[in-house]
Amino acid sequence: VLKHLPAIASAFAVIALILGLSSVLSADPRPLALQPSPDAQEYADAADQLAHGHGYVTRIYGEPQPPRYPPGFSIALAPLAEVGAYPANVQRGAKAFAALYVIAVVIAAWSLGGPISALIAAGVVAVSPFARQAGGLVMSDALVATLAVLILPLLRTPTRSGTALAGAIAGFMSVIRLNAIAAVAGLIAAFRGRRKWMAVIWSLPPIAGLALLQWATFGSPFTTGYTYWHVSQHSFGLSYLLKTPPRGDGPYIFADRLHGHLANWTCPCPLGGSQAKLPNIAFYPFLLLGGFWIFAPPLFTLPGLLAACRQWHDPASRFVLTTVALSVVTFVFYFYQGARFMAAPAALLIVLSSATIARSIERWLHRHLAHS
């Protein structure tokens, strides 16, 4: 049994991966006008404009305006915006990134913990609603999560190219979503010595490119689209920590598989249920632990989190803990609440948990089968 275990686990991992992929690829794309506004419409239109040489702009009443979001996701979608009719081409691209998320999680889990780990990760992603729901939306969350988990295998191979690639990925993540700069901080915590500085240097070109674009658009490298559109006068504040009900997505973009039942004790709740009720300080930890089953089933991420705390000497653990902690600390003070902001931290924890659980299963099997 032990001899054939990796082959059996590999076969089932492939089956689970195919199931997960088919679930994403069969998701009906939501009509662009009914997708989260203005995020999805701006990402899609800006990708189309970029592809046709009009610069990083979005049309509002036919007039080109600077979008409020950083350009990373539209840059990733732009090559796909050149093929086929708009907006179906961009929606296909977004679905491809959601499918890539499923593949990336399985590859990362395999690299960290072998075929059993890959099987567990593939199963978790297939039964959780995030990937399928992301497949129907033009939103950047699946791509950020994909890039975050792709860094994990690179931390295991002490090569210059691996370090450079990890740095470049973290830098590109930062121009998809500004707070993803937490991944660069994660690399600084993960690497030691020269590799640390090499990763930082490779992460800089995308960030410098963003600063140059903002300089060329607004006349200052520090003025963002958010500033231009006056998204919020006070984006960060202590009061957001405990504000209930918070201003946020509720369950309308990524919904809990359990319809918020595990947090119903917090009700009476506003429309949207408990997913629209919890203050930031409780919402994000509860979400990451699977209290809202969007990324992983309840408590699935706990073994990974505990293992990461115990194995601080491991670069992957340092990367995951730093990225998760910085993401949570950033968003608990943010004026807007959304489960999707935790896509990358949750994906990292899923991979780590899968590897941890797989190691425990292997140990248990070896012990019991060796005795018998």
Partner 1 sequence: VHLRRAHLATVPVLGALLTATCAHALGQPPQLLVVSSAPGVVVKWNTGSGIPGAVYVSESGAPERLFARGPRGSQSAPWVLPERRYRFRLYGEVRAKQLLITVTIGKKAVTKRPPVPDLNPPRTGHIVNAILAYVPYLVLATFTALLVWHMAERRRASRG
The backbone torsions φ and ψ at residue 59, rounded to the nearest 5 degrees and listed phi first, read: -85, 130
DSSP 337: B
Q: Which residues contact 191 (CB under 8 A, 6 or more apart)?
A: 155, 163, 198, 199, 315
For residues 187 and 181, give the distance between their C-alpha atoms in angstroms, rounded to a whole number: 10
DSSP 3-state of 293: coil
Cα–Cα separations (whole angstroms), residue 183 to 171, 223, 262, 290, 328? 8, 22, 30, 22, 13
DSSP 3-state of 153: helix
Q: Is 232 in the site for partner 1 (CB under 8 A)?
A: no
Which of the stretches 187-195, 245-253, 318-326, 363-371 binds partner 1 when contact is defined by CB under 8 A?
A: 245-253
Q: Is 217 in the site for partner 1 (CB under 8 A)?
A: yes
Instruction: In angstroms, give the least distance from the CB of 368 to partner 1.
Output: 33
Residue 65 β-bridge partners? 58
The DSSP annotation for 38-90 comes to THHHHHHHHHHHHHTTS-S-EEETTEEE--SS-SHHHHHHHHHHTSSSTTHHH
Q: Is 207 in the site for partner 1 (CB under 8 A)?
A: no
Interface with partner 1 (CB under 8 A), residue from 161, 233, 239, 372: 161
Q: Is 239 in the site for partner 1 (CB under 8 A)?
A: no
Interface with partner 1 (CB under 8 A), residue from 270, 310, 329, 363: 270
In one letter, which amino acid is 308? A
Which of the stretches 51-59, 131-139, 258-266, 317-325 binds partner 1 when contact is defined by CB under 8 A?
A: 51-59
Smallest CA-to-CA distance from 134 within 29, 273, 42, 260 is with 29
Interface with partner 1 (CB under 8 A), residue from 38, 129, 221, 279: 38
Q: Is 129 in the site for partner 1 (CB under 8 A)?
A: no
Q: Is 63 in the site for partner 1 (CB under 8 A)?
A: yes
Of 5 and 196, which CB lies nearer to partner 1 in the complex structure? 196
Q: Is 154 in the site for partner 1 (CB under 8 A)?
A: yes
Number of residues lying near partner 1 (CB under 8 A): 49
Q: Is 192 in the site for partner 1 (CB under 8 A)?
A: no
Residues contributing to the site for partner 1 (CB under 8 A): 34, 38, 50-57, 60-61, 63-66, 75-76, 78-79, 154, 157, 159-162, 164-165, 168-169, 172, 206, 209, 213, 216-219, 228-229, 245, 247, 250, 252, 268-272
